[in-house]
Amino acid sequence: MPQSYARRMDRVRPSAIRELLKHGADPALISFGGGYPDQRLFPLDDLRSVFDALLQPEQAASLQYTTSDGLPALREAIAERMTAQGTPMVADDVLILSGGQQGLDLVAKMLVDPGDTVIVEDPTFLGALIAFAPLEPTYATVRLDEHGMDTDHLAEVLAANPGVRMLYTVPDFHNPTGVTMSLERRRRLIELANEHGLVVLEDSPYRELRFDGEPVPTLKSLDTEGRVIHLSSFSKILAPGMRLGWLAASPELRERLGLLKLAADTQSGTLAMHAAASFIAGFDLDAHVERLRVAYGAKRDLMLATIDEAFPASVGRTTPEGGLFTWLTFPEGFDSARFMAEVALPEAKVAYVPGTTFFADGGHPNHARVNFSNVSDDDIVAGITRLGHHLRRELA
């Protein structure tokens, strides 16, 4: 046992999600809590043939060390794909990551000194708060509504916090709320970033999982001064267990992030990088993503329709056009964590993530995040109906 720990460990605490996962063991429990993709949709046959080919003797280099920035073929494939989807870039702009989560760590290491202010949405992705915590930031939070980050409020927050370096946003199918930032607000955000010298971390792992409506241009594609770092991942479009993500940034930023990547873990797994590159080259990732869109879109529809039928009218919800989550708003005074501990888990046998965990400064007990991607249709109907029954009693 050391006599004491580094000061940053004061900020490193178990999260509510970890506590929640402990309840996952109860077989009767229906969990809307996680953010897992549906593993029945992993392209197992295609991946088996990809891995088979990579594990032949002439492909032994797929188990060798490789360059720290990532396999050139994969960086090339990502740049091509992103360019085709409206965010122009070249392979050199791309840094391969061990999951998008690593990008949150590296960008914070690059930009945050202890006590620095980081601007985040209120609420924001819990994994980002967890990744940033060891860098000991303070937060300035910006309101969010059905059109994403409120840029009028952002202008006020920037005026009150001169010298801020970093802003973090999840503009597409936000985690936890499911909302998407409008084009008008994206333009305004870029204007404000230019005016105030901000680096913008655009975290968009759900972007391709759009069920309806038109894609809104990425912040990166609207960036005029090389201020936006675009962060994405194979976790939701291929398989999270491969632990592969990527970021795209201007040469100046990408170079520094590459040095931090080298320091953190030398490189991402060569085999996983080869597999992703071979999958993209030899199979149809777009067709696979289309299957995911259809499947998750149907689950979204079922969940929203069941909520509308089963929940009391005083419970609000968002209408996500994609992604994996919807966000519930209960009447003022309702405590979703207490309700989960006392009613939802023991009586309804249903789990969700209480909203408080997603707010940098806590509070806001009257929200919850519910996931629809990793729950069967029967469980969506059964779990939401049970939850609705108990909510009606509670809120009567």
| Interface with ligand PMP (CB under 6 A) | 35, 99-101, 125, 127, 170, 175, 203, 205, 233, 235, 240, 245
Q: SS3 for 84?
A: helix
What backbone phi and psi angles, to 5 degrees, belong to 10?
Answer: -60, -30
Task: State the minimum distance, in angstroms, from the CB of residue 172 to ligand PMP.
Answer: 9
The whole-angstrom separation of Cα 231 and Cα 205 is 7
Question: What is the full DSSP assignment across 132-155?
Answer: HGGG--EEEEEEEETTEE-HHHHH
Task: State the minimum distance, in angstroms, from the CB of residue 394 to ligand PMP.
Answer: 29
Task: State the minimum distance, in angstroms, from the CB of residue 69 to ligand PMP.
Answer: 17
Task: State the minimum distance, in angstroms, from the CB of residue 174 to ligand PMP.
Answer: 8
- Closest among 140, 195, 130, 205 to 167, alpha carbons compared: 140
Nearer CB in complex with ligand PMP: 339/352: 352
- Closest among 296, 224, 205, 230 to 93, alpha carbons compared: 230
Nearer CB in complex with ligand PMP: 339/359: 359
Residue whose Cβ sits closest to ligand PMP: 99
Nearer CB in complex with ligand PMP: 35/137: 35
Nearer CB in complex with ligand PMP: 325/339: 325
Task: State the minimum distance, in angstroms, from the CB of residue 1 to ligand PMP.
Answer: 31
Q: For residue 374, give every residue at least 6 positions away whose Cβ sits within 8 Å of its Cβ, in sequence order, or none.
A: 34, 35, 36, 37, 38, 39, 324
Nearer CB in complex with ligand PMP: 349/369: 369
Task: State the minimum distance, in angstroms, from the CB of residue 239 to ligand PMP.
Answer: 10
Residue at 66: amino acid letter: T
User: What b/e readout covers 217-229, taking b as 16+ CB neighbours within 10 angstroms?
Assistant: ebbbbbbeeebbb
Asked if residue 95 lies in contact with residue 247, where contact means CB atoms within 8 angstroms, the answer is: yes
Nearer CB in complex with ligand PMP: 103/258: 103
